[in-house]
Chains A and B, each alone.
Chain A
Amino acid sequence: MSRRSVVVTALTLLWLVLLQVTVVTFLPTPVAVPDLVIVAVLALAQAHGPIVGGLAGAWAGLLLDLVPPAAGPVGGWALVLGLVGIVVGRIAAAARPGPFAAMVLLAAGAALAVLGRAAVLWFAGAPVGWAVLGLAAASAGYALLLAPLALLVVTRADRRPSAALRTVPTEVAGP
């Protein structure tokens, strides 16, 4: 990733967090709502591997931990999304899934993120019930719906800078 695309990715994740809490959570969808932030992190992890996935997850998680109406322990989402980003990035890098398998992997990652969040809240002393399984399943379902779009956007955005690099040989990729 070039320095410029790191900045663009970081700002896009901030924008998605704001959009999530001010608009998406007001949608009257059953059980859960589509989670733009988790899906974006998992798509990045699949496209760029565990390191980028982990860093994107930690950054997006920190935003989810701090941007109002954040509640629960500060740093909880950063830890969970960072770890889930690493896991999904590792699996994607090792197995190189096809388009359909990539969508399923993304949905599974979304469910894992919800369960990880429940674990953090349980660690913080909040009661956690069986309802979290339904929530995880619903999150996986919504992630499956968003997955084609997210994977398409991430791979497209990935392709464009490299094409620019080929046409402009003087530009050097960042560290």
Chain B
Amino acid sequence: MAWRPARYLLAGCLVLAALLVLADLRGAQPARSLRGAAGAVVGGPEQALAWVRSQVGSRLGGASEARARIAVLEDELARARADTARAAAGSVTAQAARELAAGVPEAGYRVVPARVVALASPQDQVASATITVGSAQGVAVGDAVLAPGGLAGLVASVAPGVATVRLLVDPSMALPARVAASGEVALVRGEGTALRASLLDPLGRMAVGNLVVTMGTPDGRLPADLPIGRITAIEGSAADLTRAAAVAPSVDLSTLDRVAVLVPAAEARP
């Protein structure tokens, strides 16, 4: 009987949680500002823990990390050689892709470098990461986040010192995109670990190996022509109503560490 008040407290908590879910789905602002407030409180401890992790990781796994790094570099070298060969064959796309992949920002954007401090668990069934910059550095919701290779995701929520990035592969992600070679418009959706591009025009041209790039947004928050990924397989024929392609992300999202946020210059603080 001593637990009676706790019973009502529990019932209240669950009802409140259900109401929060509904409020958030209706797009209520308070639900989102709660996340910003939480980020302001635990952002510091998270960065400290991430620092400890990186220190311990580099001490313990120095050799294996070096081996992994060599493997990555060899992979990159092979890809660069392939790109050079293609460029020599007269492909303009590969040239453009390499320039963009180098992280050359478009005019009118400020590049804010950051590191990843936290990742969502697979059990969360969302793909998101916390980075070391936030509203204090001018970062706002909707900004593009780049990693070596191309676009990694978009800023989903901000606190003063940290921001949460929704990664490309998140199941709720949907981005307007283009097939770079043909200019065909497609919608790219996240699928947990891979991406799927649905072509707007079922007769549009695309091929395995084609680069898929962002179309950009009218407000200029997301620039055009950032690499998203390469087509690995095409599903459906030109006779079907819709055609889709499996796309492998340009960025290795499983080992995300150093990233850069593109902040529109107009947004930059004086």
Query: Smallest CB–CB gap between A130 and chain B, Å?
Result: 11
| Chain B residue, CB-CB nearest to A50 | B10
Query: Smallest CB–CB gap between B73 and chain A, Å?
Result: 19
Partner of B120, one of A54, A58, A69, A127: A69
| Chain B residue, CB-CB nearest to A135 | B122
Contact A114 B123 (CB under 8 A): yes
How would you classify the secondary structure of chain B's contact residues: helix, strand, loop or mixed?
helix
Asked if A125 lies at the interface with its beta carbon under 8 angstroms from chain B, I say yes
Interface residues of B, count at CB 8 A: 61
Instruction: Decide: A38 near B125, CB < 8 A? Known: A75-B21, A82-B13.
Output: no
Asked if A76 lies at the interface with its beta carbon under 8 angstroms from chain B, I say yes
Contact A69 B20 (CB under 8 A): no
Contact A74 B121 (CB under 8 A): no
Asked if B14 lies at the interface with its beta carbon under 8 angstroms from chain A, I say yes
Contact B46 A51 (CB under 8 A): no
Contacting residues, chain B, for A139 (C-beta < 8 A): 123
Partner of B123, one of A59, A66, A117, A125: A117
| Chain B residue, CB-CB nearest to A1 | B6
8 Å CB interface, B134-185 against A: 156-157, 159, 162-166, 170-172
Contacting residues, chain B, for A82 (C-beta < 8 A): 10, 13-14, 17
Contacting residues, chain A, for B125 (C-beta < 8 A): 72, 114, 117-118, 121, 126, 128, 132, 135
A-B residue pairs in contact (CB < 8 Å), sample of 25 = A18-B49, A21-B118, A22-B53, A22-B118, A32-B123, A55-B6, A58-B17, A64-B124, A65-B20, A68-B35, A68-B46, A68-B164, A69-B165, A70-B128, A75-B18, A82-B13, A86-B10, A117-B123, A120-B21, A121-B125, A121-B126, A124-B21, A128-B171, A129-B191, A135-B123
Known: A65-B20, A68-B35, A78-B16. 18 other contacts (CB 8 A): A32-B121, A35-B123, A51-B10, A52-B6, A59-B13, A66-B37, A68-B46, A68-B130, A69-B119, A70-B124, A72-B125, A72-B126, A73-B25, A82-B13, A117-B123, A121-B125, A123-B25, A138-B122
Which residues of A are in contact with B by a Cβ distance under 8 Å? 14, 18-26, 31-33, 35, 38, 51-52, 54-55, 58-59, 61-62, 64-76, 78-79, 82-83, 86, 113-114, 117-118, 120-121, 123-129, 131-132, 135, 138-139, 175
